[in-house]
Amino acid sequence: MRNIVILISGGGSNMAAIVKTAKRDNWQAHYGAKVAAVISNRADAAGLMLARQQGIATQVLEHGSYSSREAFDAALAMEIDQHDQPGQPALLVLAGFMRILTPAFVARYGGRLLNIHPSLLPAFPGLHTHQKALQAGCRFAGATVHQVTADLDQGLILAQALVPILPGDDPHQLAARVLTQEHLIYPRAIAAWLENQGAEA
């Protein structure tokens, strides 16, 4: 069994889309994979409730309770590693997890650490992506699923989706349009990753 651990900080709509698709498409039977846990760095993340409603184990590790970024990442790694299975280390999925990870953490999960970013990378890494796309006068925006490396939002691109920017859009409207596409491409990219892992095993 390949366990999937999802990290969130907020609404958790991508997490919910992944959980829904995993059930609908029976990832357990097809890939021997299941969403085993949802971990948040914020106790008030709305996604925690969504996860619990789906019967998924949740854990809160508030980053403010740790003395350093390294200490937080080490505690996080201990939680995640509990979901490793013999010969099947957990797949780690960042879904609106708003923390910069230390290089040591990223190295530990190299190749099995995925993220979704609400822009067409390599354009607009970091924060305030929608505002930046509007200010730049872009006609299109989108989202990118990528492997996480030590360089922020720079890892190998696994999937992208495109949406139009419409006259009069504000960052909020654009974010909502992009989010609907995130919910489609992230579960699909994870399924593809699981499929490829199966082929390599």
Distances from the Cα of 7 to the Cαs of 15, 96, 131, 141, 176, in angstroms? Answer: 8, 8, 25, 24, 21
Q: How far apart are CA 33 and CA 120, in angstroms?
A: 28
**What is the phi-psi region of residue 196: left when phi exceeds 0, alpha when psi lies from -120 to 50, beta otherwise?**
alpha
Site string for ligand GAR, 42-81 (x = CB under 6 A): -----x----------------------------------
Q: Binding of ligand GAR at residue 155 (CB under 6 A)?
A: no
- Choose between 29 and 43: whose C-beta lies nearer to ligand GAR: 43
- Choose between 108 and 117: whose C-beta lies nearer to ligand GAR: 117
Query: In whole angstroms, how close is the CB of 61 to ligand GAR at the nearest point?
Result: 17
CB closest to ligand GAR, residue no: 96
117 an active-site residue? Answer: yes
Q: How far apart are CA 39 and CA 152, in angstroms?
A: 21
Strand pairing class (113-117; 33-40): unpaired
Q: Binding of ligand GAR at residue 32 (CB under 6 A)?
A: no
Among positions 7, 18, 61, 95, the unique one binding ligand GAR when judged by CB under 6 A: 95
Contact 83, 5 (CB under 8 A): yes
Q: Binding of ligand GAR at residue 118 (CB under 6 A)?
A: yes
The catalytic residues are 117
* Residues within the interface to ligand GAR (CB under 6 A): 8, 10-14, 47, 95-96, 116-118, 143, 179, 182
